[in-house]
Structure 1
Amino acid sequence: MVYEERNVWAGLIVSILVIPAYIVIILQQAAGRPVETIDWFPLMLWTIGIGIVATIVVSVVWGIVAGARDPEGVGKSDIRDRDISRMGTRVEQSFLVLAGLGVILLCAIGADVFWIANTMFAGFAVSAVVGGVARAIAYRRGLV
């Protein structure tokens, strides 16, 4: 497994753990009260920060283990990695555009900041997961 593919898998693993944790905590706080009263901002920042740090840690640890097993191929990449990265970025951007349009719509109807921020957060989350899955599939099956 090449360096970029390990990073894709690290991001997917962390995203699949961190995003549901955020949702569960928000739902627990929402029990019995309006969601607009939830103090979501610090939780969202912590979730994003923990996700970034955890992805870096998983990537580094996985890289160290891979480097011990195959010192020659640790950081190698080629044109295929670049093409897969571009394809994954295009997939991610499409979901970010949809989230952005959702945010604009929510702003237009005067929705609470909770809904606007969480719509954008959901867009980032879906974008990261779907883009990562697209990249992982491309690494396993190739680009068509």
Structure 2
Amino acid sequence: MAVEEKRAWAMAVFAVVGYAVYAVLVLTRMDGRPLAETPYVAALLWTVGGGIVAGIVSGIWFGIAARNDGLQVDERDREIGRFGDHIGQSFVAIGGVSAMVLAMFEVPHFWIANVLYLCFVLSAVLGSLAKLAAYHRGLQ
């Protein structure tokens, strides 16, 4: 398995697990309040930060392992990486536009932050899935 494929798997797993942890933390803090009034900032910052750190550490780990095995990133890996990034970036744009629309309608910050976070997660997951599909089926 190519090092970039391993990184794609790790990114998808970290994104899903991080968002699931965030959702559980927010839902358990409701205490009878409406969801939009639930404290969410600390949970959001910790799960996003944890995902970033996990991604960096796994990238370093996979890079060291690949170097020790003599594996290198080739042109195919770079093309697949660009393909997956283009797929994922579409959800970043969707999140930005959605957040802008919500802000125009003066929706509570909770919903704006959660739309952005969800779109970042979808970006990571779908970009990673696109990369994994390209590794297994090829680019056509």
- Structure 1 CA distance for aligned equivalents of residues 75 and 62 of structure 2: 23
1:104 aligns with 2:96: no
> If the length of structure 2 is used for normalisation, what is the TM-score?
0.89
> If the length of structure 1 is used for normalisation, what is the TM-score?
0.87
RMSD: 1.7
Partner of 2:70: 72
What residue ranges of structure 2 are gaps of 5+ in the alignment?
A: none
Match of 2:80 among 75, 84, 90: 84
- Once the two structures are superposed, what CA deviation does each residue of 1:38-75 show, in whole Å capped at 9, x if it has no partner? 2211111100111111223334444555566xx222xx
**Mean CA deviation greater in 30-39 or 99-108:** 30-39
The residue type equivalent to 2:102 in the other structure is: L
1:120 aligns with 2:120: no
What residue ranges of structure 1 are gaps of 5+ in the alignment?
A: none
- Structure 2 CA distance for aligned equivalents of residues 26 and 124 of structure 1: 18
Percent identical pairs in the alignment equals: 37
Q: Contact between 2:99 and 2:116, CA under 8 Å: does it hold in 1?
A: yes
